[in-house]
Amino acid sequence: MDKLVIQGGARLHGEVTISGAKNAALPILCAALLAETPLKLSSVPKLKDVGTTINLLQHMGVVVTRNADKVDLDASNIKILEAPYEMVKTMRASILVLGPLLARFGKARVSLPGGCAIGSRPVDLHIKGLQAMGANIHIEHGYIEASAEHLPNKRLQGARYYMDLVTVTGTENLMMAAALAQGTTVLENAAKEPEVVDMADCLIKMGAKIKGAGTDVITIEGVDKLNGAEHQVVCDRIEAGTYMVAAAMTGGEIKLLNVSAHLLDAVIEKLREAGATVLSDANTITVKSDGKLKAVNIRTAPHPAFPTDMQAQFMALNTVASGVSKVTETIFENRFMHVQEMQRLGADIDIDGNTALVKGVSELEGATVMATDLRASASLVLAGLVAKGQTVIERIYHLDRGYEDLEEKFNALGANVKRLS
């Protein structure tokens, strides 16, 4: 299993190009199923989940051409309306083929995502939303069997649906389904994340009629058919935030390219509060710092507030900042798994329920630590960059799910990061 070896102590300087967001790319790849002519995407990151999604689409009959960050998808000849367990088990996002298949072809058979208890809320909301649009859905042998064949013209019908839990993939799935439904659909308590807005922008280019993306009420007027279009996937705001924190922690200066500052308002505000200088224009952000940082309190909440996916990185910053800080996690339970690994590096952190109390220390010391999930592993890389001596991070397959070319990008900025397999 691959591991990363980091020699700490280098100040990071230079430019880094931010990749397209995985969490926008995956649903937009699935949206290709709605189109009768080819969809041409750019800024698609080279990540494992993207490859898995492309394999799944190819299995259904989508013709895919991939060249660097460009992916062309032709779904004019779909043969199989099924997402089998073998292809779905590693990736929960594969539920995103359910809406488009049902809307365009009138039926779909999708394996329940891996590790999902049947009554679990997120999948429930997708199913209930499609049922509100008239779909006939039952779960059989671990598969979601969905049909619209009993409906007028075998098409889903527009509906008003209130999601009792904010769900990004649920919002996206129902938005895709509604794009080809008969009549108007109103999604209430919709997710407002930039990735949802990006998907809506892509669907609109394909001919969909969507209003209100980015607010909590999205209105979709169904159309008879959608066509391909050209679309550049929105930048990965979490990857961007991770490099911004790296600049602040190491006392360096990094200029980020292909990034939209307005997607990172909460992160920029907290970096400035910590004592870093942040400058931005249309598609660049520059962060510089002398490395002398002040501790900042963090409270995660849905967009546009502080993102849960940046919580671990700011905890890393707080471990070496002066003062005491409180980090409160309101989105996910069990999202402090990085704490005990940071403690191995010498961090002073106490956990009380969903709050961590962090006392800054003068320096961290290198040690062997283990990545537990995607964002936790990024925070350990940041800690390793400032720790004295050598830090070894094991189980970095988590990192590879969400960060494209991580060690290449960090090394180009002057870090000393090696991958050992």
DSSP letter assigned to residue 393: E
Burial 112-123 (b: 16+ CB within 10 A, else e): bbeebeeeeeeb
Burial class (CB in 10 A: 0-12, 13-18, 19+), 314: buried
Of 303, 179, 290, 334, the C-alpha closest to 237 is: 303
Catalytically annotated residue among 30, 116, 202, 235: 116
Query: How many angstroms from the chain centroid is the CA of residue 309?
Result: 8
Query: Which two three-digit tokens encode residue 251?
Result: 């006392």
Sheet holding 348-352, edge to edge: 298-299, 324-328, 355-359, 348-352
Using alpha carbons, list the distances in angstroms from residue 202 to 196, 197, 218, 358.
10, 9, 15, 42
CA distances from residue 46 to 20, 378, 396 in whole angstroms, order as listed: 9, 17, 16
CA–CA distance from 26 to each of 120, 215, 219 (Å)?
21, 21, 22
- H or E stretch at 99: helix 98-105
To which residue do tokens 């298949």 refer? Answer: 101
116 is catalytic: yes
According to DSSP, residue 214 is labeled T
Question: What number of other Cβ atoms are within 10 A of residue 307's Cβ?
Answer: 22
Rounded distance between C-alpha atoms, residue 53 and residue 125, angstroms: 22
Q: Residue 90 and residue 1: Cα distance in Å, rounded?
A: 17
Which sequence positions are flagged as catalytic?
A: 116
